[in-house]
Structure 1
């Protein structure tokens, strides 16, 4: 056997061995096929098989081309704040919903316009996608393939392509397209996974750990607070002038600020609101202001706690009575009667006999009639006297 024949034989054996290993190896495509079929059967009892799986890599500028407006778009939250998008076409969405609601997938109607997707569609399809990604992320032999699918959970339903595009900001994406068959040929659908490239976290050395652990929490807070920038304005006086007088000001005019002391400077914030007062001066050749400390509000707030009672000079109304309330009244003082001995009604026998109600009513009517007759007679007398005086 020549050397060329020996080389060809070795190459054929190596090729056969690599093909056999590739057939047994768990790739990303094979993991997705198995997971999609298993989860459809376990969650919904739906016979599903993946017909084809393709994979390609795109940049962030090409993400918009993958987003189809009439597909159901699910935004998936991953580790490190990464966001992936899973798209399902209308045929697949209808099949999954029919299986979960009616227990049977009906063939697609030819020529029917796809309906608009709703939040209910997303809620029914999201659990299936979550379980497929979670199951498939554990199967591939390549660590990069496992990281690509690992840790994603359903976040929100994207109502349009613009919302999905704004949520995806990774520089590189892997697009995995799956064509699946539902219910042994009842209908076919597509799933598109737009997964960001897994973020690689650099290992932290021991020296970095020591540097990060040295500053205490209080020191970090102090450092951050001292680095804050606050703009304050110092005003010596405030003047109020009409706009007409302000417009008439010219070079050389003098305004009376009425400032007699530098101890009444106002500290103003960016909105012109007075925060405090201070004394204007200089320190080491630089302008400085000594801000007055605000008065304590300790004695201006109402005191309601038990610990404040000692300073309020109040009578002690919570002291317990040793022998009861009755013990404070001297027993030998017989001028104070007992409550049970007081007769609040008096002698009921001394009351006059009350008349019958009917008789009393008649007597009252007679009195009213007599009073009305007397009033009418008096009016008639007044009228006749007036006529006599007028000479009638």
Structure 2
């Protein structure tokens, strides 16, 4: 199984770009929400891979003693959901005991009663997946499926599934803060039969207008800049004792080297202090540096050491 899985991951790298992001995020969210809402149990998707598989490969990759559910989809499409024994047992324990047992149950062949108890969670997860894909291209192949029936054996899948290729969402999950782990595998026809998301003529025409309007509003937002003449480090004791009339020396300050900074202390440029039409004014210098800093990625200011000094800006 390991070699088959590795081979499928390598082969699926290009197809994954076709349909991964929406279905990937949506299925992670759907599994977590469904288990939380239905039975108050936390489920974490530790890893999720989107693969393309044939029926033969699907059967070979199925977890041993998995609970296998057949799914009905758009235009008579059929899908499969397989849940590993550890996860199936956890879902049943939460419904029968209200909590996870102290020790994992011995793996056994799932029954129709097990399937009936898990069916509600499956349908809830699939419904949440539909909602998250409302505006996603992946909706055409990943949405519209619901629980149909339980399969006691994997062998009938070779006759029931008629597609040449399937998309597999293989999720490695854990429940109960890592107390149990296993796989949840969703298999759907690769050729989508669901609804295709299309923009109406009005929406298509309005999209660029909306972008232009949004940009215009954003560019009108006020942005505060601070003109910093100099900085000074003083002991806390001296700062606490400052009185009106006290003089503070700024040895590195200069009216021709004013630092112009954002609210979070990011320097943008330098300027010179002067006058313009009878008012105090700053003359910007080093314009090339302003453009360069604006393009550079922002780095948060370093955290100060817990020393007894405070750094004051004037």
TM-score, normalising length: structure 2:
0.52
Are the aligned partners of 1:26 and 1:141 in contact in 2 as well (CA < 8 Å)?
no
Report SS of the residue matched to 2:51: strand
Structure 1 residues 53 and 141: alpha-carbon distance in aligned structure 2, compared to 1, 3 A threshold: farther
Preserved contact between residue 57 and residue 172 of structure 1 (Cα < 8 Å): yes
User: Among 86, 91, 102, which residue is 1:96 paired with?
Assistant: 91
Distance 1:60 1:176 in 2: 14
2:69 is the counterpart of 1:74: yes
Contact 1:170/1:196 (8 A) holds in 2: yes
Match of 1:36 among 31, 36, 46: 31
Q: Identify the residue that residue 58 of structure 1 maps to in structure 2.
A: 53
Counterpart of 2:165 (choices 157, 172, 187) is 172
The C-alpha deviation readout for 1:21-43, integer Å capped at 9, x for no partner, is xxxx9632221111111111111
CA distance in 2, matches of 1:84, 1:130: 13
Q: 1:108 to 1:192 in 2, by over 3 A?
A: farther
Per the alignment, residue 145 of structure 2 pairs with 152
Residue 61 of structure 1 and its aligned partner are, at CA, apart by: 4.3
For residue 69 of structure 1, report the CA deviation from its aligned partner: 4.7
C-alpha separation in 2, matches of 1:123 and 1:147: 28
Structure with greater proportional helix content: 1
1 CA distance for matches of 2:189 and 2:81?
Answer: 11
Report if aligned partners of 2:144, 2:194 keep a CA contact under 8 Å in 1.
no
Tell me, in whole angstroms, the C-alpha distance in 2 between the residues paired with 1:201 and 1:114: 36
What's the CA shift string for 1:285-309, capped at 9, x where partnerless? Answer: xxxxxxxxxxxxxxxxxxxxxxxxx
CA contact (8 A) 1:59 1:173 kept: yes
Q: CA deviation at 1:138?
A: 2.5
In structure 2, the partner of 1:337 is none
CA shift for structure 1 position 126: 1.4
**Unmatched tracts of structure 2, length 5 or more:** 1-19, 197-314
| C-alpha distance in 1 between matches for 2:74 and 2:134 | 21
Once residues 66 and 143 of structure 1 are traced to their aligned partners in structure 2, the CA distance between those partners, rounded to angstroms, is 28
Counterpart position of 1:124: 117
Deviations 1:261-298 (A, max 9, x none): xxxxxxxxxxxxxxxxxxxxxxxxxxxxxxxxxxxxxx
1:161 maps to which of 145, 149, 154: 154
Larger Rg: 1
CA contact (8 A) 2:143 2:194 kept: no
1:85 deviation in Å? 0.7
Relative to 1, partners in 2 of residues 1:149 and 1:202: Cα closer, same or farther, differing over 3 Å? closer
Structure number with greater CO (CA < 8 Å, separation at least 6) is: 2
Q: Give CA-to-partner distance per residue, 1:328-351, whole Å, 9 cap, x none.
A: xxxxxxxxxxxxxxxxxxxxxxxx
User: Which of 71, 79, 84 is the equivalent residue of 2:79?
Assistant: 84
- For 2:156, what is the secondary structure of its paired residue? helix
Gap regions ≥5 residues in structure 1? 1-24, 204-392
Query: Does the aligned pair in 2 maintain the 1:134–1:149 contact within 8 Å?
Result: no
User: 1:142, 1:105 → 2: CA distance?
Assistant: 37
* Number of equivalent positions: 177
Aligned to 2:224: none
The corresponding residue for 2:183 is 190
Tell me by how many angstroms 1:202 deviates.
Answer: 12
Where is the strand percentage greater, Structure 1 or Structure 2? 2
CA–CA distance in structure 2, aligned partners of residues 43 and 96 of structure 1: 10
> Alignment partner of 2:138: what SS?
helix
